[in-house]
Amino acid sequence: MTILAVFRSRAQTLGYLAEAKAAGIPAQAVSTPKEAGVGCGISAKFDERFLPRARAVLSRRSYASFAGFLRATKGGYIPL
């Protein structure tokens, strides 16, 4: 399953993405879906098996704009 890390800040999204990649998470920047209800427009996308590592990356820095994780479903995205 696909997971999105959603942020309210483009700069923090890109910073998180760099940290995630440094932690060995094959992540990429994608457009934030409307279901997120967040307007920055960019999220970090990765496979669900990397979720524990992605959470660890979040805990190492203060990402004040982090809005949450979304899981892809057949009908769109749902919050974790």
Global pTM reads: 0.91
Could you read off the pLDDT of 69-80 as tens digits, one per residue? 999 999 889 999
| Mean pLDDT for the stretch of residues 44-70 | 96
Q: How many CA atoms lie within 13 A of 65 on its CB side?
A: 17
Could you read off the pLDDT of 6-50 as tens digits, one per residue? 999 999 999 999 999 999 999 999 999 887 777 668 999 999 999
What CATH topology corresponds to 2-70? Alpha-Beta Plaits (3.30.70)
User: What pLDDT is attached to residue 33?
Assistant: 85
Q: Secondary structure of the chain: what % helix, strand, coil (to 5)?
A: 35, 35, 30
User: What pLDDT is attached to residue 40?
Assistant: 66
